Amino acid sequence: MLELAQNILDIAENSIRAGAKLIGISVIEDSAGNLLTIEISDDGCGMKGEEIEKALDPFYTTKDVRRVGLGLPLLRDAARMSGGRLDLQSEAGKGTKVTATFRLDHIDRQPLGNITSTLVSLIATNYEVDFVYTHRRNDRQFKLDTRLIRNELGDIPIYHPEIIKYIRDVIEEGLREIKIEA
């Protein structure tokens, strides 16, 4: 994967397959600490100890379609190549949390990529799942919570084209306000 947003998409899709109804996605850019942190957490089925070990093996997957599971191993390798690391925590029946850190200025750090399209795609195609996206850049923060949007919508589905356009606009504006190119 060439952009970290693609890794986020892949891991969030894993969360959805694991039965998650709430997925938190957090991106923290800390210039002073020279650190980029990406965290994806869910309330899915979680994993047992031996499954956690296997999840980092590129030749292990729970998918029937393909015989490899590259999402977590690729994110781990991307983090390591840029002076960071990947931490995977999970508890059966409670959910999973993936935290990847990167040196912000490392020459081998992949770009974040189009996080707006990633989020819009996740929300539009997984309308039964709620997402909380937080992006912090130094002392500025943007947050999007689909639960709050749903409360305002009433009977209008979140995947309605006008609502998806609204969500895209909100994300783009929010990222611009914290000085992120959307």
Q: Are 130 and 147 in contact (CB under 8 A)?
A: yes
Instruction: Report the 10 Å Cβ neighbour count for 146.
Output: 22
CATH of domain 4-177: 3.30.565
Looking at residues 140-165, what average pLDDT do you find? 96
pLDDT at 31: 96
pLDDT tens track for 72-84: 999 999 999 999 9
pLDDT at 59: 63
Exposure letters 45-69 (e unless 16+ CB within 10 A, then b)? bbbeeeebeebeeeeebeeeeeeeb
pLDDT at 150: 95
* Beta bridge partners of residue 78, listed in sequence order: none
Looking at residues 127-149, what average pLDDT do you find? 97
158 contacts: CB under 8 Å, gap ≥ 6: 123, 127, 146, 149, 150, 164, 167
pLDDT at 55: 81
Percent of the chain with pLDDT strictly greater than 90? 82
pLDDT tens track for 24-77: 999 999 999 999 999 999 999 999 888 887 787 766 555 444 433 468 999 999
pLDDT at 62: 53
